[in-house]
Amino acid sequence: MSTDESEYVAAHVQEALARDPRVNEPELGVTVVKGRVVVHGHVPSEERRRSVTEVVSECCPDLEVENQTTVARFPDAEGMDRPVIRVAAVGDLHVGPDSAGALREQLSAIHDKADVLLIAGDLTKSGEPEEAEALARELQGLSVQVVAVLGNHDHHADRPAEIAGLLREVGVAVLEGDAVRIDTPGGSLGVAGVKGFGGGFSGASGAEFGEPEMKAFIRHTKERSEALEAALATLETDVRIALLHYAPVRETLLGEPPEIFPFLGSYLLAEAVDRSGADLVIHGHAHRGTEHGVTPGGVNVRNVAQTVIRQAYAIYGFDAGRREPATAGRGSRDGQGSRSAASTAPASER
C-alpha cells in the first residue's frame, strides 16, 4: 500500500470513528502501516473501546486492527475528582508588533484552566527583536508559568539569543537542551525543551554522509536529539513533557505535503524521548498537520500549532497520583508504563 493509499484509508477510518454512534470519537488517531490499522487515543468506556475494533474491522475487513486506545475515566482536566496538573499548550503564534493585545486577551482566563503554558516555537514572525518585545508585553505578568522553545521563524533574523533574552526578562523559561521543574497543586511537572530539526523519518530520512552541507544538516538533528534525551534524563518529577518545535513522528504531519516531511521533523527526536521516557511530547511547526500521534515507544505526541488545534490553546490534564496510564504513553523512565494519566480537552477561548 502506497503512502497516499495509507493516508486515504486512515482518513476514511477516522471519519467512521467520528460518525458511527457506537464510537462517536472524532479525536482518535489512526495510522495505517504494513497491513495494520493502528488506533490510539482515549475513550470513556470499555464498551466504546470494543466498538472501536468493530468499526475499524467493518471499514477495513482485509487489514489487521491494532486497538491501542485506553479508557479514561474522566472527561477532561476540570472534571477529574483529584488534583491534576493542568498544562495549556500552543505553538506557532507568529507574534508581531501588529498583533498587540490579541494574545493577552486570549490568555486572560488561563489561570482558571491551567497551571503552566507551553509554547512550541515560532513565537515571532521573522525573529526580529521588536517582535519578541511585542510578545514579551503580552506575556509579562501572566498568572501562570510560561515555558517555550524557539522555532525556525525565531531564528530567521539570526538573533535567537536576543529573542530568548527578551522573553526571559519577563519570566518566560526559554529552553534549548535544558529543563525546568514546576511545582503545581497536582504534583511536580518537568519540561525538557529543544527546537529540534529536520531530517525525515524511518525509511525516508537523511544520513550523515556525502557533502559537508548534508553532514552538517543531519549532525545538527543528532545534536538536538541528544540534548533532548539528556535534558529529560535530569528530571525527577511526577510528570515529564518534551517540548519541541519540530515533529518527532510522521503521524502529526499528516495533512502536509509528504515531500516536505524531512523538513518538518526527525525520527531521532522520538528515539530520544523513548530512551529517556516522557509522559507527553508537544510540538508545532506543521500548520496543516494532525494533532494526535504516538512515538514507537508509545509516548503520546500532540501537534499544537494554532492552525491545527484551532483555539488559543489546548489543555492536557495529568493525574500524577494515578499509576495506570489513561492516555499517556508507555515510554516511562522505568520501562513499566507511564506514571501519570493524561486527558485532553479544548480550552474555551478561540
Burial class (CB in 10 A: 0-12, 13-18, 19+), 86: buried
Do residues 126 and 67 share a domain?
no
What sign has the CA pseudo-torsion 144, 145, 151, 156?
positive
State the average pLDDT for the chain. Answer: 86
- What pLDDT shows up at residue 332? 32
Q: Is pLDDT above 50 for 341?
A: no
Structure confidence by residue, pLDDT tens digits, 271-325 = 999 999 999 999 999 999 999 999 999 999 999 999 999 889 999 999 876 533 3
Q: Please state, as a whole number, how many other Cβ atoms lie within 10 Å of the Cβ of residue 268.
A: 24
Do residues 180 and 328 share a domain?
yes
Do residues 177 and 199 share a domain?
yes
- What pLDDT shows up at residue 81? 55
Domain extent at residue 311:
77-346
Do residues 102 and 179 share a domain?
yes
Q: Is pLDDT above 90 for 340?
A: no
Share of the chain above pLDDT 90, in %: 65
For the chain, how many structural domains are there in total?
Answer: 2
- What pLDDT shows up at residue 125? 95
Structure confidence by residue, pLDDT tens digits, 67-92 = 988 775 433 444 445 678 999 999 99
pTM of the model: 0.73
Cβ neighbours of residue 8 closer than 8 Å, sequence gap 6 or more: none
- What pLDDT shows up at residue 217? 94
Confidence of residue 202 (pLDDT cuts 50, 70, 90): confident
- What pLDDT shows up at residue 28? 82
The C-alpha cell 490553546 sits at 313
Q: Strands, E, within the chain: which ranges?
A: 29-33, 36-40, 42-43, 64-67, 70-71, 85-90, 116-120, 145-149, 173-174, 178-184, 187-193, 200-201, 204-205, 239-243, 280-283, 292-294, 300-303, 314-319, 341-346
Report the pLDDT averaged over residues 146-171: 97
The number of C-alpha atoms within 13 Å of 228 and in the hemisphere containing its C-beta is: 35
Q: Is pLDDT above 60 for 1?
A: yes
Do residues 245 and 107 share a domain?
yes
Confidence of residue 339 (pLDDT cuts 50, 70, 90): very low
Do residues 67 and 81 share a domain?
no
Write b or e for each residue in 191-220: b if 16 or more Cβ atoms lie within 10 A of its Cβ, otherwise e: bbbbbbbbbbbeeebbeeeeeeeeeebbeb
Give the end of a domain, one of 71, 96, 120: 71
Do residues 246 and 110 share a domain?
yes
Q: Residues 136, 141, 144, CA angle at the centre, nearest 5°?
A: 105
- What pLDDT shows up at residue 320? 76
Do residues 113 and 41 share a domain?
no
Give the end of a domain, one of 47, 71, 95: 71
**Angstrom distance (rounded) from CA 84 to CA 43:** 19
Do residues 130 and 225 share a domain?
yes
Do residues 172 and 29 share a domain?
no
Q: Please state, as a whole number, how many other Cβ atoms lie within 10 Å of the Cβ of residue 168.
A: 13
Give the end of a domain, one of 27, 51, 71: 71
Residue 29: CATH number of its domain: 3.30.300
Residue 236: CATH number of its domain: 3.60.21.10
- What pLDDT shows up at residue 328? 34
Do residues 107 and 55 share a domain?
no
Instruction: Determine phi and psi for 283, rounding to 5 degrees.
Output: -150, 175
Do residues 48 and 187 share a domain?
no
Q: Is pLDDT above 90 for 330?
A: no
